[in-house]
Homo-oligomer: A and B are copies of this chain.
Amino acid sequence: MVGSIAVLGGGNGGHAIAADLSLAGFKVNIFELPQFVGESFREVMRRGEIEILGKAREGVARLNKATTSISEALDGVELALIAVPAFGHATFAEICAEHLKKASGRPPALALMPGTAGSLEFMKTFREKGVKAPIAETATLPYGCRMLEPAKVIVYVTAKLLPAGVLPARQTEEIVGMLKQLYDEVCPCRNVLEAALNNPNPITHPAATLLNVGRIEYAKGEFYLYKEGITASVARIYEALNRERNALCQTLNLKIFECGEQLTEMDRIIQMGLLFGAGCWEEAGVKMKGPTHVRDRYVTEDVPYGLVFMASLADMLGVPAPVMKSIVTLFSAINREDYFAKGRTVEKLGIAGLSLQELEKYLQEGER
């Protein structure tokens, strides 16, 4: 049985995971990199507690540790959950690899929540540093949540389905078994790419933001994307993106998970329902304000780390992805950044140029 857990990342997601799992009876260490420590994490370190309310467990959660030392966080734990934005993956891969190289004993299993193919980036760094550890990733963060004030987080909605893949995939049963002790909703993926491609955010966030950019800026942030922004034309773009994603999945022999019939019409339209299940629109969407500007993570994370990743993989496999690329192109112009160059490409994931068979083998074995 999993007893102690490290949560790496001190943002919305890290707070919710650490608090909820502490209340569930696990011994939880929470870690943040010194340079990323914000007001809330400072408060968590001071008090050693996080208050949580909403749709997960509610209460004041006492943590085992809140620390900026990676060895304090990881030593002796069986499982490390990494809940940081995709643009933090490279940095966290680096410090995890450096620590594991020096550490004695069996390394913990790592799980990115979510990964968006970040497990491949971790594995590339681990191979370069000569470290061996299995790396899982889930398709989404288990919580739709926001920090309310320092050391206090609210959970608007929880995932009803939590697809999880493991690199190497031959260790899936073992690692997914551990994750299932934490979250009953966890279900095994064929490999980490299946988990990555089931992340709904790159489908949902950039398209809906793009088609509402004028309003977001004119209304100066008084904007609720899920309530105001998901219209018939946005749904058409979702359909087009999903067709491209499905073609990619078919080529890779992967599936898109679905929650099924219990979804309301609105949940189906906004797509968030795919993993978060029925009722999320009423429960979460209408309450969650934002995005308030075009450098929100709905753009700066989901475009370069979501759409660029899928488009790059599609290019490598000869699958057309014109709608994905169009959104990347337009946000690159809006934010004057080359998201294709900056984003998560097959090169950065260490899988560029692999044939379908070589890719399958690598995903299965974790070795080239």
Contact = CB atoms under 8 A, between A and B. Distances in A.
Nearest to A227: B218
A39 to B, nearest CB: 28
Contact of A236 (B229, B322, B334): B334
Interface in A90-134: none
A323 B333 contact: yes
- The complex is assembled from copies of this chain, and their number is 2
Contacts of A218: 215, 228-229, 231
Contacts of A333: 236-237, 239-240, 323
A336 to B, nearest CB: 7
Nearest to A228: B218
A213 interface: yes
Interface stretch (A81-89, A267-275, A324-332): A324-332
Secondary structure at chain A's binding surface: helix, strand, loop or mixed?
helix
Contacts of A296: none
Contacts of A233: 213-214, 217, 294, 334
Nearest to A225: B214
A269 to B, nearest CB: 12
A73 interface: no
Contacts of A212: 211-215
Contacts of A7: none
A236 B335 CA distance: 8
A323 to B, nearest CB: 5
A7 B215 CA distance: 39
A198 B232 CA distance: 33
A210 interface: yes
Interface in A276-290: none
A230 interface: yes
A290 B234 CA distance: 19
A80 interface: no
Contact of A323 (B232, B234, B329): B329
Interface centre among A214, A236, A334 (most CB of B within 10 A): A214
Contacts of A329: 322-323, 325-326
A208 interface: yes
A336 B237 CA distance: 10
B229 A214 contact: yes
Interface centre among A210, A215, A230, A334 (most CB of B within 10 A): A215
Interface string A63-87: 0000000000000000000000000
Closest 3 CB pairs of A and B: A326-B326, A217-B231, A212-B214
17 contacts: A210-B210, A211-B211, A213-B231, A214-B215, A214-B229, A214-B234, A215-B218, A215-B228, A217-B232, A218-B229, A236-B333, A237-B333, A240-B333, A322-B329, A325-B329, A326-B326, A327-B330
